[in-house]
């Protein structure tokens, strides 16, 4: 099951000098500068150095007084911490920057990497799932990871408890990448200290966050888009009906990646998300061969499953992805009344409300006083 492909709109970037790399890092670490703003500033002003000079004036015109860009000392401290951790900075446009990731519209401009960066040039498949995974779920994730690496794939996951941990253990010998929500040098969760060390030695740890940053709840949805963006496919092993793993699956659909799921018992809440994915068209996975077969080109396309109306929490993922795109296309930095947005898009409030919650959790929209909504840029 794949979503509608949206090509990246940001142009390929030229290799940078060390000074320009420092300036890009300062720009990205400056207050109120996210990925979209970073790209717009570079496009409008030609270089990170020029953008840093003009940024206080831009902030002042937006009503932010006494704005200061990220001081050089902050970035120097981050780079010193990176050297101590053995981390390498990969800048978008570098030869080492993964091509698959550069295809997504909100690709991270900079990545810290600890370990074997050659893994970024091999085909990747993401394995994600529940933190409170069952014994069967963790066994399945580890076996899938082992089988996929034997077939030449690198397994990507998020270094969380449960399914992620099992996936990394299963693929450690053959090729594993951990995308971290905090800094690449941060151990989280604490019980994965040895696994984190082993991945840095035999696999690869990646993060777009500053070195030393402890992960917070809002960082995980951003982390998930990198997991799916790196991969040809996302395999969900266990997931509840409302979980971060389903956010990763939605990201995969938006990025035109294949979504697959391992089925589970209907009475097990940890399997409800996977069963929903399969009902809505995701490929059912029993073993690594099912994953590989789903990625292989076929002579004739399989007919798509019909989108059957469902309860709001179980709406088909293709319809959800389309609604997310429609909402984001109608929102900008200027606030819009929620009821006006509802009238413009003409969908029932029972469908719109969960979609708005999804986008808010993913950090793509923001709520303001008076029932107003705006797009985060």
Q: Has residue 2 got a pLDDT over 80?
A: no
Res 305: pLDDT: 42
Could you count the other beta carbons within 10 Å of the beta carbon of residue 109?
22
Q: For the segment 272-310, what is each residue's pLDDT rounded down to a tens digit?
A: 999 999 999 999 999 999 999 999 753 333 444 444 343
Closest to 245 (Cα-Cα) out of 52, 53, 264? 264
Res 312: pLDDT: 40
Query: Phi and psi dihedrals of 133, rounded to 5?
Result: -70, 155
Closest to 181 (Cα-Cα) out of 234, 128, 133? 128
335 or 237, greater pLDDT? 237
Calpha distance 5→85 (Å, rounded): 37
Q: For the segment 119-146, what is each residue's pLDDT rounded down to a tens digit?
A: 999 999 999 999 999 999 999 999 999 9
Q: For the segment 152-161, what is each residue's pLDDT rounded down to a tens digit?
A: 999 999 999 9
Q: Has residue 110 got a pLDDT over 90?
A: yes
Calpha distance 85→41 (Å, rounded): 30
Whether a cis peptide bond, with omega within 30° of 0, leads into 65 is no
Res 3: pLDDT: 58
Q: What single DSSP character describes residue 324?
A: H
For the chain, percent of residues with pLDDT exceeding 90: 68
Closest to 48 (Cα-Cα) out of 97, 101, 107, 109? 109
249-270 per-residue burial string, b: 16 or more CB within 10 A, e: under 16 = bbbbbbbebbbbbbebeeeeeb
Per the confidence metrics, is the pTM higher than 0.85? Answer: no
H or E element at residue 14: none
pLDDT band of residue 339 (cuts 50, 70, 90) is: confident
Closest to 180 (Cα-Cα) out of 199, 201, 162? 199
Q: Residue 207 pairs with which residues in a beta bridge?
A: 112
């Amino acid at each position: 099951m794949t979503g509608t492909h949206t090509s990246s709109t940001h142009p390929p970037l030229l290799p940078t000098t060390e000074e320009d790399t420092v300036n890009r890092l300062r720009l990205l670490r400056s207050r109120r500068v996210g990925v979209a703003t970073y790209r717009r500033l570079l496009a409008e002003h030609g270089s990170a150095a020029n953008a840093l000079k003009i940024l206080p004036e831009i902030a002042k015109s937006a009503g932010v007084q006494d704005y200061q860009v990220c001081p050089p000392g902050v970035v120097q401290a981050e780079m010193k911490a990176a050297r101590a951790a053995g981390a390498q900075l990969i800048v978008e446009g570098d030869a080492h920057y993964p091509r698959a990731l550069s295809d997504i519209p909100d690709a991270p401009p900079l990545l810290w990497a600890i370990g074997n960066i050659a893994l970024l040039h091999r085909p990747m498949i993401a394995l994600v799932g529940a933190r409170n995974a069952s014994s069967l779920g963790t066994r399945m994730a580890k076996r899938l990871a082992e089988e996929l690496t034997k077939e030449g794939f690198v397994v990507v996951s998020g270094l969380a408890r449960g399914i992620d941990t099992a996936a990394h253990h299963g693929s450690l010998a053959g090729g594993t990448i951990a995308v971290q929500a905090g800094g690449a040098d941060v151990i989280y969760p604490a019980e994965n200290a040895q696994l984190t060390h082993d991945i840095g030695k035999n696999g690869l740890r990646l993060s777009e966050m500053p070195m030393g940053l402890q992960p917070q709840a809002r960082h995980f949805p951003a982390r998930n888009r990198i997991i799916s963006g790196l991969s040809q496919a996302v395999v969900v092993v266990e997931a509840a009906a409302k979980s971060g793993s389903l956010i990763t699956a939605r990201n995969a659909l938006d990025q035109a990646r294949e979504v697959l799921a391992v089925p589970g018992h209907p009475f097990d809440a940890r399997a409800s998300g996977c069963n929903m994915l399969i009902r809505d068209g995701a490929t059912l996975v029993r073993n690594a061969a099912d994953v590989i077969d789903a990625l292989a080109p076929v002579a004739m396309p399989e007919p798509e499953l019909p989108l059957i109306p469902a309860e709001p929490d179980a709406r088909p993922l293709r319809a959800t992805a389309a609604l997310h795109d429609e909402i984001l296309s109608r929102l900008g930095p200027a606030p819009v009344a929620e009821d006006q947005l509802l009238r413009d898009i003409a969908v029932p409030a029972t469908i719109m409300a969960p979609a708005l919650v999804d986008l808010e959790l993913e950090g793509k929209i923001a709520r303001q006083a008076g029932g107003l909504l705006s797009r985060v840029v």
